[in-house]
Amino acid sequence: MLPLEIPEVVIDRLPIYARALALLEKQGREVVNSQELGERLSVTPAQIRKDLSYFGRFGKQGRGYNVSRLLQELHQILGLTREWPMVLVGVGQLGRAIAAYDGFVPQGFRIVEAFDADPKIIGAKLNGLEVKPVDALPEVLRRHRAALAIVAVPAAVAQEVIDMLVESGVRAILNYAPIAPHVPPHVRIKDIDPVLALQSMTFYIKSAADAAK
Amino acid sequence: MLPLEIPEVVIDRLPIYARALALLEKQGREVVNSQELGERLSVTPAQIRKDLSYFGRFGKQGRGYNVSRLLQELHQILGLTREWPMVLVGVGQLGRAIAAYDGFVPQGFRIVEAFDADPKIIGAKLNGLEVKPVDALPEVLRRHRAALAIVAVPAAVAQEVIDMLVESGVRAILNYAPIAPHVPPHVRIKDIDPVLALQSMTFYIKSAADAAK
DNA sequence: GTATGTGAACCACTTCACAGCA
DNA sequence: TGCTGTGAAGTGGTTCACATAC
């Protein structure tokens, strides 16, 4: 059923579809077609239909997609029908902001352990979580079996921390450190770096901004 | 130079190259070749050479690239030889974390104005900045001429805020709200959404995690 | 000898266009 | 009739491979 190679770009779009469908569902919509969904997401209708076709036939010709049904299917496909415990490494300013972010839990992602290297931070409470020393990470992960980790440590030690997480069996990492991390093929990693995003946008506006100067 | 022809993916990679070069420069390296740079960034050497060739000939055959020279060229290309003032809209938990993030200023990005709709927040100080009401945004932007904005407001009002920013002449937006925003073609926008990143990674690890259960 | 710069070949994703079904 | 699902065509980005330059 599943073709061996589903393009990664397709997988990256599925959560976007799911988010839009969740909104439609909240608004009480029962059916949506690829045309309208595409307009809402700035994606072509063909793109949406093609993407979904990798996984099955979820629509009805002449009608469109049942919103709740398709949302459920996408959750199934993405593995979002369960909760995902996560560990957080790095409890500095950034790490604390991540821990406080209220967008994770409603989507089933919960930080269940927090680690730091700073003795002044270790032992402190973070959202009712006791911050543990990074050295305890392998041992703690061996028991917890969390598959997801968030890295929010300084760039200088980020690769080291990532190696430790990989070593401890983590399967996917959300990396906030401004580095180009290395991980083995069986581990997924995504980087969040607002500075890179800004630095590529300035390319497009620099001439106009200069001209307007 | 001729931005009309250059693929956006290429532009997105330039800041990554620049970051790696900045690190090499700090380490005192004078020369690097596409081979080594590629290994550090998990990019093929041909990719790097091709990307750079869109903008000029910065290397020396048989030798490689002068680190400082190439870094400077990239800064020039990306428009990073100047400071970029930014306005922040949304000073809730997320907005405050963004304002406190210490990664922007060293790269020349500084928040110069902050706005919120909540009367309880308006007037408060944020890093020495007085939080102003969103209604004042058009008027303030008319004077400031900031080309960059960061949106950290609730999803429900994000599009409205983005429209206001576009209306006020902002040229690029970093959007933290979990929506699919609409902007006219002359405005750039990039979304930062850690939840989407997590939701696509779970696809790849769900089966393995289930199997290991 | 060594590594760049680049047309050409290749590959992957996107879009088209229409058969097929509700 | 209307919209999905999907081979086929099209597009655009990546990789190759080698002439070129140091």
Average pLDDT of the residues in A162-173: 98
Task: Tell if A209 CB is < 7 Å from nucleic strand D.
Answer: no
DSSP for A76-114, please give it.
Answer: HHHT-SS-EEEEEE--SHHHHHHHH-TTSGGGTEEEEEE
Q: What beta strand segments (E) does B3-116 contain?
A: 31-32, 59-60, 64-66, 84-89, 109-116
Confidence tier at B4 by pLDDT (50, 70, 90): low
DSSP category for residue A119: T
> Mean pLDDT, chain A, as a whole number?
95
Q: How far is B69 from chain A (nearest CA, A)?
A: 18
- How many alpha carbons fall within 13 Å on the CB side of residue B10? 18
- Does the beta-carbon distance from B100 to A101 stay under 8 Å? no
Q: Residue A54: pLDDT above 70?
A: yes
Measure the CA–CA gap between A13 and A116, rounded to whole angstroms. Answer: 33
Burial class (CB in 10 A: 0-12, 13-18, 19+), B25: middle
With a pLDDT cut of 70, the percent of chain B lying above it is: 95
**Which chain B residues have a beta carbon less than 8 Å from that of A196?**
12, 15-16, 19
A191: helix, strand or coil: strand
Q: Residue A118: pLDDT above 90?
A: yes
pLDDT digits (tens, 9 = 90+) for B119-176: 999 999 999 999 999 999 999 999 988 999 999 999 999 999 999 999 999 999 999 9
pLDDT of residue A207: 72
Number of H helices, E strands in chain A: 8, 10
Place of tokens 């902050």: B114
Backbone torsions φ then ψ of B168, nearest 5 degrees? -85, 5
Measure the CA–CA gap between B134 and B115, rounded to whole angstroms. Answer: 5
Question: What is the CA angle B207-B210-B213, rounded to 5?
Answer: 150
Q: What is the pTM for the complete model shown?
A: 0.96
pLDDT digits (tens, 9 = 90+) for B102-114: 999 999 999 999 9
Q: How far is B117 from chain A (nearest CA, A)?
A: 19
Q: How far is A157 from chain B (nearest CA, A)?
A: 14
Q: How many CB pairs under 8 A join A and B?
A: 188
Burial class (CB in 10 A: 0-12, 13-18, 19+), B46: exposed
From the list B3, B203, B212, the residue facing A77 with the nearest CB is: B203
DSSP for B130-184, please give it.
Answer: EEEEGGGHHHHHHHH---EEEE-S-HHHHHHHHHHHHHTT--EEEE-SSS-----
- Does the beta-carbon distance from A172 to B204 stay under 8 Å? yes
pLDDT of residue B209: 56
Tokens of A124: 């402190």
Q: Residue A107: pLDDT above 90?
A: yes
**Which one of B195, B207, B210, B213 makes the best mutation probe of the A interface by having the most chain A beta carbons within 10 Å?**
B195
Which chain A residue's Cα is nearest to B209?
Answer: A147
Q: Yes or no: say if A99 and A114 are a contact pair by the CB < 8 Å rule.
A: yes
Q: What is the dihedral of CA A203, A209, B2, B4, to 10 degrees?
A: 80
Q: What is the dihedral of CA A168, A173, A175, A181, to 10 degrees?
A: 70
**Which chain B residues have a beta carbon less than 8 Å from that of A188?**
201, 204-205
State, as a whole number of angstroms, the distance between the CA of B61 and the C1' of D20. Answer: 8
Task: Specify which residues A129 forms β-bridges with.
Answer: A126
Confidence tier at B213 by pLDDT (50, 70, 90): very low
To which H or E segment does residue A37 belong?
A: helix A34-41
pLDDT of residue B1: 43
- Does the beta-carbon distance from B147 to A182 stay under 8 Å? no
Q: What beta strand segments (E) does chain A contain?
A: 31-32, 59-60, 64-66, 84-89, 109-116, 125-126, 129-133, 148-151, 172-175, 188-191
Contact status of B29 with chain A (Cβ, < 8 Å)? no
- Does the beta-carbon distance from A180 to B209 stay under 8 Å? no
pLDDT of residue A1: 45
State, as a whole number of angstroms, the distance between the CA of B29 and the C1' of D11. Answer: 40
- Does the beta-carbon distance from A78 to B206 stay under 8 Å? yes
- Does the beta-carbon distance from B84 to A41 stay under 8 Å? no
The more confident residue out of A207 and B19 is B19
Task: Tell if B142 CB is < 7 Å from nucleic strand D.
Answer: no
The more confident residue out of B4 and A134 is A134
Question: What is the CA angle B116-B119-B122, rounded to 5?
Answer: 50
Average pLDDT of the residues in A113-121: 98
**Which one of A13, A205, A207 makes the best mutation probe of the B interface by having the most chain B beta carbons within 10 Å?**
A205
B110: helix, strand or coil: strand
Nearest to A149 by CA among A122, A107, A114: A114
Average pLDDT of the residues in A182-189: 98
Confidence tier at A213 by pLDDT (50, 70, 90): very low
Those of residues 104-133 in B touching chain A at CB distance below 8 A are 104, 107, 109
Contact status of A27 with chain B (Cβ, < 8 Å)? no
Residues in chain B: 213
Q: Residue A211: pLDDT above 60?
A: no
